[in-house]
Every structure is written in structure tokens, then in C-alpha cells.
Structure 1
Amino acid sequence: MLILNLMASPEGGTANPAATMMMMFGFIAIFYFIFFRPQRKQQKEHQEMVKNLKRGDKVSTIGGIVGEIVHLTNDIVTIKSGDTRVEVERSKIGRVN
């Protein structure tokens, strides 16, 4: 009801510009808290996890390879999966098992 009163046009004129701005800011705030904020939080958690990788961790890559870390450099992780060793980028590690 309050929004309708704010949006009501005085004597056939245009809508209240302050009310229109308040609605725009409201929609921006809703999108921020529903979409952008959780995504940033998830990105920070992933970056922290990738930063704290160490030799011997059992990991899964984004592509589905599961194995144990045997060697680390700044950007490349060597994973032993079965009898093979695979080199992947650090950022492609999906989770630590």
C-alpha cells in the first residue's frame, strides 16, 4: 500500500521520481543479495581452498579426475590417479576430499 501511495501521480501528472528511484535501488539491492554476494563468497572460499592445497591431499578436479596430489608448483598440480600422473591447473581443482 505504501508503494502505491508513493507511486500515485498527483492530479494526473507523472509518477513521483523519488519513489521510482527507491524502487530501482530496491531492485538493485535484491539482485546484489540474491545473486552477486553468494557468488563472491563462493569464489573466495574456492580461492582459499586452492591456496591451501598441499602434497598428499586427495582432490577432485572440475573435470572429474580423482586422485592424490604428488607435486605442486605455483600454477600446476600433479595428481596421481591410479597408475597415471596428470598435471592440471590449480584453479581447476574442484574440491578436497
Structure 2
Amino acid sequence: MGTTQQMIMGLVMWVAVFAVFYFLLIRPQKKKEKQLKEMREALAAGDKVTTIGGIIANVAKVEEDFVVLELGPNRTKVPFEKWAIGTVEPKKDSAE
């Protein structure tokens, strides 16, 4: 009976370790990925974005899998994959 109890305790210990890893590492990462996906799906023309490479630009056009960004003073239009968008700047109120 002693070895059976040791096996059960060992199994309980591994389940506890997995639970800790899930709640501290896996779950927050999935939540962050979900927020990024929602942010990228909500892109609209006129939004100011920063790519994961650090390029700051305005969105000119949004397609299903890519966006066209306007860069620099010449307003050069360059296509980017949606996954390359890192952040969207919050829009400022026009009343300010």
C-alpha cells in the first residue's frame, strides 16, 4: 500500500506543477494573443499604428490579410501583413 500512496502523491505533484505553469505562463500568453488578434481585426483606415519592426505609420487601406500603410512626408504607401502590426495608438478626441 505504501508504493500506491507514493505513486498517487507523485501524480498529484505533477498535476499541481502543470496547473501552476498553466495559470502563470500559458493562460496569460493566450489572453495576450487573443487581444492582439482582436486589435488587428479592428484596424481601420486612418488609425496610427506601430509595426513590430518599429515603423510608425497611418493605415491607408485594410484588406483581409494585409494593410496598406502611409509612410513619411511623401505618404508613400507600403503593404504590410496584419500580423506585423504591433500596436495601435488610441485616437485623440477632436475636442481637445
Report the TM-score range of the alignment, normalised by the length of the smaller protein.
0.7 to 0.9
> Could you tell me how far apart the structure 1 residues matched to 2:14 and 2:62 are?
48
Amino acid at match of 1:17: M
Amino acid at match of 1:90: K
TM-score (norm: length of structure 2): 0.83
Does 1:51 find its partner at 2:44?
A: no
> Could you tell me how far apart the structure 2 residues matched to 1:38 and 1:14 are?
36
TM-score (norm: length of structure 1): 0.83
Amino acid at match of 1:86: V
> Could you tell me how far apart the structure 2 residues matched to 1:28 and 1:62 are?
31
Amino acid at match of 2:17: F
Q: Secondary structure at the match of 2:32?
A: helix
Aligned to 1:70: 60
Does 1:29 find its partner at 2:11?
A: no
Cα distance, 1:76 vs structure 2: 1.3
Amino acid at match of 1:41: K
Long gaps (5+) in structure 1: 1-9
Aligned to 1:38: 28
Aligned to 1:89: 81
How many equivalent pairs are there? 87
Cα distance, 1:64 vs structure 2: 0.9
> Could you tell me how far apart the structure 2 residues matched to 1:16 and 1:71 are?
62
Runs of 4+ aligned residues of structure 1 deviating over 2 Å after TM superposition are none
> Could you tell me how far apart the structure 2 residues matched to 1:15 and 1:65 are?
59
> Could you tell me how far apart the structure 1 residues matched to 2:42 and 2:87 are?
11
Aligned to 1:6: none
Among candidates 1, 7, 13, match of residue 17 of structure 1: 7
